[in-house]
Chain A
Amino acid sequence: MDEKPRELNNRSGRSVLTRDEFITALRAVSTIGLVRLKEKAKFRALGSGMEGDDLFQEAILRTLDEDGRKCPSDVPVHIYLDNAMRSIADGERKKYVRERPAGVGQSDEEPDEELLVDPPDQAPSPADTALARIELDEVLGALEQMFASDPEAEAVILGDLEGWSANEVKDLGKMDDKQYAAARKRVRRGLARKFDNRG
């Protein structure tokens, strides 16, 4: 970007993009960058109660909001948006944990930002309803159930949920590199199809 950033983040003192600079950078995201963001948004939104598209727009709206998030000038906008989506989705899941009755998943953390996009519509079918409800355990159970008939894909899902390394997952599923890569692809495609319009 030719223009030197003029704004600084209030808390970190880091140089950030102005609103106009952010909009310019946003419009300049490449075709492939947008495809990548669309797919990431679906996965980031899992269990947040938001659709991937809503999560993507929420990240933009919060950045354009005067008192909202700011994109550091040394971070590419597509990376910034991915990080923002991760943080927003996690915030939405946290809200759910706090909203549960006393004694169930309480949290002392600070309140999160309010959603700027409208909440998603009601789920269109009973099958989707189970996944759409912001009940995290049910989402987890549904994710595991999706791949119950594919032990390799199930191992990938379980390993990812636990934060295991690739080698640990391969050991668990008794997979070589090629089988592991193919299983990961089946998981990605299965989830992307399932959550095409819903988080």
Chain B
Amino acid sequence: MSKDSDARVKLDLLGEALAKDLDELSDEELLEETAATDEERQNTVSHMRSLVEKAIATSGQRRLAKARQAYEAARGKGRAKVIALPQARKKALIAHFAKNPQALPKELTLAARNEADSEADLDSLLQDLFELGAIDDEGNPR
């Protein structure tokens, strides 16, 4: 056993012996030893309860962030390559469908004719067109 491993085992043994001591103390003995006054006891307990609540809140935030990340990843995965085209090309594509609505649903045709300007609007429209099969993955009309 290396010197450090030996020290590690010793510290674990010490912690265990001291924890066992605490288990053997009665509630009264423990309180007398660790928090002499009512105020100290209340402070200790509210501090511990606040640690518990903070840990629960932190864990909740991490779960939410993880779920959001998974959702974004899944959403990104299903996105058509057309979203990566230059904005001018995207606008030209939308203009093409505004003039040649063919069999597009009415709402989509109207949206195309409303000349979406923002990148997000364009992306949303192109994604809809892709999912409808009106364009392929790279934005070529079918």
Contact = CB atoms under 8 A, between A and B. Distances in A.
Interface of A: 23, 26-27, 29, 31-32, 34-40, 43-47, 53, 56-57, 60-61, 64-66, 82, 86, 89-90, 93-94, 96-97, 100, 104-107, 116, 136-137, 139-140, 143, 157, 160-163, 184-185, 187-189, 191-192
Contact of B11 (A29, A36, A93, A107): A93
Interface centre among B41, B47, B56, B62 (most CB of A within 10 A): B56
Given A40-B19, A107-B5, A160-B17, A35 B12 contact: no
Residue among A47, A107, A184, A187 having the largest count of chain B Cβ atoms under 10 Å: A47
Contact of B52 (A27, A96, A136, A143): A27
B18 interface: yes
Interface string B1-31: 0111101101111111111011100010011
B63 interface: yes
B89 interface: no
Contacts of A157: 14
Interface of B: 2-5, 7-8, 10-19, 21-23, 27, 30-31, 33-35, 41, 44-45, 47-49, 51-52, 54-56, 58-59, 62-63, 66
Contacts of B55: 57, 60-61, 64
20 contacts: A34-B48, A34-B49, A38-B48, A39-B22, A40-B18, A45-B15, A46-B15, A47-B11, A57-B55, A60-B51, A64-B59, A65-B62, A86-B16, A97-B4, A136-B8, A139-B11, A140-B7, A143-B14, A160-B17, A188-B33
B8 A56 contact: no
A35 B59 contact: no
B18 A23 contact: no
Nearest to B2: A105
Main secondary structure, interface of B, reads: helix
B21 A60 contact: no
A47 B66 CA distance: 32
Nearest to A56: B51
A139 B10 CA distance: 11
Contacts of B62: 65
B2 A104 contact: yes
B16 A136 contact: no
A106 to B, nearest CB: 7
Between B47, B48, B54, the greatest number of chain A beta carbons within 10 A of the residue's beta carbon is seen for B48
A169 to B, nearest CB: 10
Given A35-B41, A53-B51, A139 B7 contact: yes
Contacts of B14: 43, 46, 143, 157, 160-161
A36 B56 CA distance: 20
B137 to A, nearest CB: 34
A35 B35 contact: yes
The 8 closest A-B pairs by CB, nearest first: A105-B4, A136-B7, A64-B59, A60-B55, A43-B18, A160-B17, A34-B48, A105-B2
Contacts of B16: 86
> Which of B4, B62, B66: most chain A Cβ within 10 A?
B4
